[in-house]
Structure 1
Amino acid sequence: MSGKVVLYYFNGRGKMESIRWLLAVAGVEWEEVHLTTREQYEKLVNDGALMFHQVPLVEIDGMKLIQTKAILNYIAGKYDLHGKDLKERLLIDMYAEGARDIMDMIMILPFTPSEKKQKQLDNLQTRAKVRSLPAFEKALTDSEFLVGNKLSCADVSLFEASLMLEELFPTILSTFPCIQAFQRRMKAIPAISKFLQPGSQRKSQPDEVYVKTVMDVLSHIFK
């Protein structure tokens, strides 16, 4: 492998997509090793690369990092996307976790039995419109960014979550003008504009192949 950052995950979004987003915004190039077999996963476990037997796994700066939040915090800290002081970092983490709560609900939809999926969608839409989006809208009412006066990982998380929500509910932001304006500002950032272009390393919505691969590789979870 070259000196680039290396991501070990499935060829799809999942928990790795937020890491891809943050790396893209930071201007970092990376390579990917896509897990397609149970044997690949077991080798990573047996080699001691997966402390808790979980992916994603990221090789960076001579380290093997696991646990999504820890990875995101490391990247954010390394590339000055985590606030100027402890108070800002706390607020950034709060907003980022709020966005990830929404993304986690979206992430499990492809693995939800068809008879339960509509209820999950309804719950997601209600939570987003009643609890999550109003909080972000308030934070952006008089500010360009969620925290402080510069871009942070919280802004990247909200942008990613808002795009995912619009994929499912195209008009969900119609009553949130500040978030709409925020989206326009984010899309104007060159690194984000580039990542949104066709052919980038951004992943598309999960399909049947992705779902089957995840279930086969992580068969111990889906028993």
Structure 2
Amino acid sequence: MAGKVVLHYFNGRGKMESIRWLLTLAKVEFEEVFLTTREQYLKLLNDGDLMFQQVPMVEIDGMKLVQTKAILHYIADKYDLHGKDIKERAMINQYSEGLIDLMEMIMMLPFVPDQQPKLQNIETKAKERYLPVFEEVLKDHIHLVGGKMSMADVLLFECTLMLEEKFAGILGDFRSVKAFQGRMTMLETVKRFLGPDSKRKPQPDDKYVKTVMEVFDMQKLPF
């Protein structure tokens, strides 16, 4: 695996999925090592590979990077997906962090015993807090920042797919966001990642939840 980008995480979406998407849009090949046992996790800890005892962890350019945002920023900087100057980067980061907040609400759903109240809250926030921001920008622009693809575009596309999985028709009142999604879907890299046999992960299931809990030695759901 020398010289390869290697992702260390569970065989599921979680916080690694945005990293997979960003690498895909940057046209970077990567390999994956899936955490399936607590022993694997403890070995990473004992080897000093997890700075804050957390995954995801990405091996890239001789480093073992942790913390999702730090990883995303490094990839975006390296592959020209982070704007041309500090002002554009600030805007990209604002959009990206908002999207991460929304997607993390969805990520936590499999670990919530009673999902319905959470679903209602997520749908309301998506419609009233998040999607209107992107709809307004995309009315007059092809991309969110600087007239070219950025990390924010990649995360917005991923987020729209996640929202539609949970709330059919949620983009009906956000025509510019839906048009943006359509443009992204036409990209060859995206077509391949959405197609069969790609490294995109399916929606999390009970097996994924069970594995996460066993690896982290969680006796019960953290809610």
SS of residue matched to 1:99: helix
Aligned to 1:118: 116
2:204 to 194, 203, 206: 206
Aligned to 2:78: 78
1:189 to 180, 187, 190: 187
Measure, in 1, the Cα distance between the counterparts of 2:98 and 2:60: 26
Measure, in 1, the Cα distance between the counterparts of 2:63 and 2:79: 16
Name the amino acid aligned to 2:41.
Y
What are the superposed Cα offsets for residues 17-65 of structure 1, whole Å, 9 maximum, x if unpaired? 0000000000000110000000100110110000100000000000000
Aligned to 1:152: 150
Aligned to 2:161: 163
TM-score normalised according to structure 1 size: 0.97
SS of residue matched to 1:174: helix
Quote how far apart the aligned CAs of 1:2 are. 3.8
Measure, in 1, the Cα distance between the counterparts of 2:219 and 2:50: 15
Quote how far apart the aligned CAs of 1:220 are. 4.8
Measure, in 1, the Cα distance between the counterparts of 2:3 and 2:101: 33
SS of residue matched to 2:171: coil
| Corresponding pairs, count | 221
Name the amino acid aligned to 2:135.
E
Task: List aligned pairs for 1:1-223, cutoff 5 A.
Answer: 1-113=1-113, 116-220=114-218, 222=220
SS of residue matched to 1:6: strand
Measure, in 1, the Cα distance between the counterparts of 2:137 and 2:158: 17
Name the amino acid aligned to 1:11.
N
What is the root-mean-square deviation in Å for CA atoms of aligned residues? 1.1
Measure, in 2, the Cα distance between the counterparts of 1:217 and 1:92: 34
Measure, in 1, the Cα distance between the counterparts of 2:216 and 2:48: 17
Measure, in 2, the Cα distance between the counterparts of 1:90 and 1:183: 23
Q: Percent identity?
A: 63
Measure, in 1, the Cα distance between the counterparts of 2:126 and 2:106: 11
